Amino acid sequence: MSQKLLGVILAAGKGSRIQPLNLYWPKPLLPVCNKPIIQYQLEDMRDIGVREVIIVVGHLKEEIISYFGDGSSLGLHIRYVEQRKMLGIAHAVAQLENEVDSPFILFLGDIFLVPKNLRAMERMFWERRAGAVLAVKREEKPEYVRRNFAVILHASGTVTRVIEKPRYVTTDLKGCGVYIFDLAIFDAIRRTPRTAQRDEYEITNSIQILIDDGYPVYPAEVIAWDMNITFACDLLECNRSQLQRLDKPYLIGRNTTIHPEAAIQNSVLGDGVTLEKPIAVKDSLVFSGVRITAENDIERMLLTPDVSISCAAASPESRRDLTAGEEPSHGV
């Protein structure tokens, strides 16, 4: 078998907790510094040599298909598979069994990730002939592990257990929503039962079956920062965090019209934004196409052409405490 990875992104979910944004956008298309979340993932895949990607779509699927098309603008070949029932991540992956004939790297489309070395993760998979490699991150705060899945290691460094949303946290190693799987994962998924907790097919249960079948599964510490976009104001904090990483005081999209006496501070403005008054826009996210006619300053706001959301109730750090590591609604 040639050492070639297929790319897979799960982007079917409705994401009910991010209302009202999900009425207008599929979560993977929500912008972070004027680029859709899912585009970062596609570019990360391309950077490690992936050229063919399957996107699993569902809610507002036409928006995703229209935006990326066949993927040629990104140097990729993208095709789409629809998930009609939202029954968990493992169920979403099961839709691909007849579409996939090689190992694949899987991203969850509503998690914003800053990877630091996905090539090392890929090398680990091939060199160790792994059944799976899991992207993980060390977390100081147990609640971040508790809201995702814990990864328990053997002394040899292999994964022995994965625990979805552990009540009692005994490790600081958290799964981050990026996986490389061999085709054996499909055999494991077929034997994965629905959970009592959420009545879904959990991918962590499938991974545990893979481990119990004797396939080696390894952790790869390749994620520098991550945030599950679960609630609307998470998107603002994610944009502000990325703006800081870009070392920019603000970011303004194309074809914007800004009053000459207006001030933009620590904010992201999309394409085609019009700011009519001499006001300050602080710590805010303005979607493309918004016309701002307000007379007063705007602070800690998320503005779209359809809705305005105040994020002033919580500080950035407390927002992350509340939401980082929340179960992604992946919509799958």
Per run of 10 residues, the mean pLDDT along the chain (length 332 residues) is: 85 86 92 97 97 95 97 97 88 94 95 95 96 95 86 93 88 94 96 77 94 97 92 94 96 96 97 96 97 95 95 56 35 34
Residue 125: the pLDDT is 97
Residue 199: the pLDDT is 67
Residue 196: the pLDDT is 61
| Separation between Cα atoms, residue 202 and residue 200, nearest integer Å | 6
Residue 2: the pLDDT is 56
Q: Look at the chain and count its residues.
A: 332
Question: What's the chain's Rg over C-alpha atoms?
Answer: 20
Residue 170: the pLDDT is 86
38's CB contacts (< 8 A; 6+ apart) are: 9, 11, 28, 29, 55, 64, 68, 109
Q: Which fold has domain 6-228?
A: Spore Coat Polysaccharide Biosynthesis Protein SpsA; Chain A (3.90.550)
Domain with CATH 3.90.550.10 in the chain: 6-228
Residue 325: the pLDDT is 33
Q: What is the dihedral of CA 132, 136, 141, 142, to 10 degrees?
A: 0
